[in-house]
Amino acid sequence: MPVKETKITGLYVGSNFVDLMQLERTSVGPRLVGFAREEIVEVNSHKGKDVPPNEEFEALKKSLVGDPILHNPNMVVQAIKRAIRKSNLKVKEIIVNLPLESAMVRYFQIPLIPEPEWRRAIKFEAKRHIPFAIEEVFFDFQVVPREEEKRMEVMFTAVQKREVEKIVSVLAQMDLKVLALEPISSCVSRILQLNNQINPAQSTVVINIVGDSASVNILKNNIFYLVRDIKIASETAPEEEEKSPYANLLNEIKFSFNYYEKKLKQEKIDKIILCSDGEIDSQLLERFKEDFKIKIELGEVTKRILNAEGLVPGFCFAAGLALRGLVKSNLEANLWQQEEIIRKVALEKENFVKTLVAEGMLAILILGGVFFITDAQVRTAREELDKIKKQVPEVSAEIRSLSFTQLESKKKDIKAEKIALGRIMDKRIFLTKKLNEFNKVLPDNLWLKMLSWSRNPHRLDLKGGAFLGDRQQETESVTQMFSNIRKNAVLREGFKKDPKIGTIGEGREGKYRITNFDIKME
């Protein structure tokens, strides 16, 4: 969902800090309205205990396992509340980050296809690149078409739905509405692009450090070609960590450089930019300069934001979040807009399906006129019944005057009329029962467009349409409905063969693309 407000609030939740920042759009650029930082574990809350506050504070910080917003939400909620009070900001809607290791950012290529087919094709290809079922994640993507090479470069971003729902529910406890939920790589690229620290024509490495983890992002031409999450300290070689606490990080970064240069682009790295929510160790900075022999920069915050002189580089993540909607970035990803889109599409789909169902029902009623008693026929039948009732005495008198042979003849005539009437009623009852059952198995997003019935032998042909906004989902819905028909004893009664599904193909209903289907029962 595009962010159009003049004031944007970014909420960064790291492993140790909660940063809150609000920026305002002005004619000369973004302006800082206010900011605050709070420790997730509050030092003052441990005063008066037997264990010294600083020692207990450090012990509690080490006990935090995983991302605090997912595993220690109560602490995060309290830290956010303190930050809001401290900043004196009015906060209702926020842009918030995904935990560093939750976001999955993948690069892949697919053949060049028309834009209306992008989402379906990318969704299909992405299944090969993520460790979860595509139905279990929210995803977003950016595409760079290469028409001369007849291919497309895709930056695909995904996160598990359960993690998104957990984050949004935690923030909802404070009546905070999430406008966008994005990976740290996206929000950092926004502040770096604003500062002109990223040249799209050059291969740039952005290293984001959060707590004991880091994310290596290699980008060029507004595409993340490689994104890797790395533990700063090695879990398998502690002896190396004693010599240098950054040995594992540096080795993994070198591996990433080698992969990028040899397997992906065969281009040299031009620049490294270091970003962190804390102060970057001078020893790490020196090691980077010694090991890589290329330009090393720190991510800046105050360069292009008005009134931001008091901000330290550690606020780069919060600043990048608050800039969403104020400045344009080609590397944006929103893992929460899926819910907004789904609600919007669902409303449009509901209105559209209601219209189509109404038209479909009208068509069925017209066709049903061939099989069912109309209002005029009902009135005629009632008049005939009243007439028969009035003639009962006359008929009784007539019967008493008939001979045995005449009575037998009369009996045969009545029996023939009864059989003929029974056939008519059986036909109507047969179809009525079937249509009642079809109403039970027919999903809301499917409708019947044509019904054809013949008696000798029994044969029922159905044609319909489906609209879900996604071809694959429509096909699955039709297939599921057909499976339900095959299992329904009432629908199958009177037919000798198993139901058969005919073609499932694409069609149009006005300006909408739909899926058509036909089913035969005989």
- The 10s digit of each residue's pLDDT in 467-492 is 877 777 787 788 888 888 888 888 88
- Looking at the structure, do residues 267 and 121 belong to the same domain, yes or no? no
Give yes or no for a contact between 137 and 161, defined as CB atoms under 8 angstroms apart: yes
Query: Is it the case that residue 255 has pLDDT exceeding 80?
Result: yes
Mean pLDDT computed over 284-300:
92
* Weakest mean pLDDT among 182-196, 377-391, 504-518: 377-391
- Looking at the structure, do residues 127 and 66 belong to the same domain, yes or no? yes
Q: CA-CA distance, 397 to 212, in Å (whole number)?
A: 106
Question: Which one is predicted more confidently, 502 or 143?
Answer: 143
Work out the mean pLDDT of the chain and round it to a whole number. 80
Give residue 24's pLDDT band: very low, low, confident or very high (50, 70, 90).
Answer: very high
Give yes or no for a contact between 248 and 237, defined as CB atoms under 8 angstroms apart: yes
From 335, 356, 381, the end of a domain falls on: 335
Give residue 232's pLDDT band: very low, low, confident or very high (50, 70, 90).
Answer: confident
Give yes or no for a contact between 270 and 294, defined as CB atoms under 8 angstroms apart: yes
Query: Is it the case that residue 36 has pLDDT exceeding 60?
Result: yes
486 domain residue, yes or no:
yes
Query: Is it the case that residue 248 has pLDDT exceeding 80?
Result: yes
Mean pLDDT computed over 154-163:
93
- Looking at the structure, do residues 73 and 171 belong to the same domain, yes or no? yes
Query: Is it the case that residue 218 has pLDDT exceeding 80?
Result: yes
397 domain residue, yes or no:
no
Q: Cα angle vertex 434, ends 430, 438, to 5°?
A: 170
SS3 502: strand
Give yes or no for a contact between 504 and 460, defined as CB atoms under 8 angstroms apart: no
- Looking at the structure, do residues 76 and 168 belong to the same domain, yes or no? yes
Query: Is it the case that residue 370 has pLDDT exceeding 60?
Result: no
Q: Which candidate, 134, 123, 174, places its Cα nearest to that of 471?
A: 123
Domain CATH number, residue 293: 3.30.420.40
Query: Which residues, at least 6 apart from 505, have a Cβ–Cβ distance to it below 8 Å?
Result: 515, 516, 517
Query: Is it the case that residue 19 has pLDDT exceeding 60?
Result: yes
DSSP tag of 314: G
How many structural domains is the chain composed of?
Answer: 3
pLDDT at 57: 44
- Looking at the structure, do residues 88 and 136 belong to the same domain, yes or no? yes
Give residue 372's pLDDT band: very low, low, confident or very high (50, 70, 90).
Answer: very low
- Looking at the structure, do residues 361 and 507 belong to the same domain, yes or no? yes
Query: Is it the case that residue 158 has pLDDT exceeding 90?
Result: yes
Strand order in the sheet with 7-13: 31-39, 17-24, 7-13, 93-97, 177-182
Range of the domain at 435: 345-370+402-521
388 domain residue, yes or no:
no
pLDDT at 217: 95
From 311, 335, 359, the end of a domain falls on: 335
Question: Which one is predicted more confidently, 293 or 369?
Answer: 293
DSSP tag of 99: P
* Weakest mean pLDDT among 217-226, 283-292, 405-414: 405-414
- Looking at the structure, do residues 431 and 475 belong to the same domain, yes or no? yes
Q: Residue 149: what residue type?
A: E
- Looking at the structure, do residues 156 and 53 belong to the same domain, yes or no? yes
- List phi, psi (to 5°) of 325: 95, -20
Cis peptide, bond prior to residue 145, ω within 30 of zero: no
249 domain residue, yes or no:
yes
- Looking at the structure, do residues 188 and 78 belong to the same domain, yes or no? yes
Question: Which one is predicted more confidently, 350 or 341?
Answer: 350
pLDDT > 70: percent of the chain: 74
340 domain residue, yes or no:
no
27 domain residue, yes or no:
yes
Dihedral sign for Cα atoms in the order 323, 324, 330, 334: positive
* Weakest mean pLDDT among 235-244, 310-319, 399-408: 235-244
pLDDT at 404: 63
Mean pLDDT computed over 446-472:
79
Question: Which one is predicted more confidently, 370 or 516?
Answer: 516
Q: CA-CA distance, 42 to 64, in Å (whole number)?
A: 13
Query: Is it the case that residue 345 has pLDDT exceeding 50?
Result: no
Mean pLDDT computed over 158-163:
92
- Looking at the structure, do residues 23 and 117 belong to the same domain, yes or no? yes
Query: Is it the case that residue 208 has pLDDT exceeding 90?
Result: yes
- Looking at the structure, do residues 360 and 504 belong to the same domain, yes or no? yes
Tokens of 492: 């199958």
Domain CATH number, residue 331: 3.30.420.380
pLDDT at 61: 46
- Looking at the structure, do residues 259 and 275 belong to the same domain, yes or no? yes
**How would you class 193 by CB atoms within 10 Å of its CB: exposed for 0-12, middle for 13-18, buried for 19 or more?**
buried
36 domain residue, yes or no:
yes
pLDDT tens per residue, range 375-416: 555 566 567 666 665 655 555 555 556 666 766 777 777 776
Tokens of 55: 């020692």
From 289, 312, 335, the end of a domain falls on: 335
Query: Is it the case that residue 292 has pLDDT exceeding 50?
Result: yes
How many CB atoms are located within 10 Å of the residue 488 CB?
16
Q: Which residue has the tokens 């096909």?
A: 475
380 domain residue, yes or no:
no
Give residue 114's pLDDT band: very low, low, confident or very high (50, 70, 90).
Answer: very high
Mean pLDDT computed over 39-65:
52
**How would you class 97 by CB atoms within 10 Å of its CB: exposed for 0-12, middle for 13-18, buried for 19 or more?**
buried
